[in-house]
């Protein structure tokens, strides 16, 4: 007998992403964790929305034919979903960067040769 699996609701997917992010950022000091909570909420929501927009774009494309009125010819235009995706993705990337920057930095990181070059150049 085959096991039926139901698709998760949007709320379940957001909650799952929020839990995933909370696990990643659980090591933050308490003050930073309080700051991160709002960012985690937004990031979880945005990630799920972006996934849904990606599915729509894969199915329907980035452009569509559009007709202003019956008397004018059709023309191809960008779909609003693509524009929304691009804007939201940029915001999501900024939030993830903010969260990442809150994580403690590892002390034993190898020096970046490019950073060393810039540092030496600036000292000249």
Residue 114 belongs to some domain of the structure: no
3-state SS string over 12-70?
HHHHHHHHHHHHHCCCCCHHHHHHHHHHHHHHHHHHHHHHHHHHHHHHHCCEEEECCCC
Token pair 């909370």 in the structure block, residue: 22
- How many domains would you assign to the chain? 1
> Cα–Cα distances in Å, from 42 out to 45, 51, 55, 69, 123?
5, 14, 20, 39, 41
Residue 34 belongs to some domain of the structure: yes
The answer, yes or no, to whether residue 104 has pLDDT greater than 90, is no
User: Span 36-64, mean pLDDT?
Assistant: 96
Domain encompassing residue 39: 10-103
State residue 123's pLDDT score.
Answer: 65
Residue 86 belongs to some domain of the structure: yes
What residues pair up with 66 in beta bridges, in sequence order? 75
Residue 122 belongs to some domain of the structure: no
State residue 6's pLDDT score.
Answer: 80
Residue 123 belongs to some domain of the structure: no
Residue 17 belongs to some domain of the structure: yes
pLDDT tens track for 29-49? 999 999 999 999 999 999 999
User: Span 49-66, mean pLDDT?
Assistant: 96
Residue 115 belongs to some domain of the structure: no
State residue 99's pLDDT score.
Answer: 94
């Amino acid at each position: 007998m085959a096991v039926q699996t139901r698709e998760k609701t949007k709320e379940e997917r957001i909650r799952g992403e929020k839990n995933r992010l909370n696990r990643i950022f659980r090591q933050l000091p308490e003050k930073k964790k309080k700051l991160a909570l709002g960012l985690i909420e937004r990031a979880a929501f945005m990630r799920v929305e972006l996934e849904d927009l990606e599915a729509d774009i894969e199915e329907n494309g980035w452009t569509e034919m559009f007709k202003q009125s019956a008397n004018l010819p059709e023309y191809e235009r960008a779909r609003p979903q693509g524009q929304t995706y691009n804007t939201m993705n940029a915001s999501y990337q900024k939030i993830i960067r903010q969260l990442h920057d809150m994580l403690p930095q590892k002390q034993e990181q190898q020096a970046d040769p490019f950073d060393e070059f810039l540092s030496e150049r600036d000292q000249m």
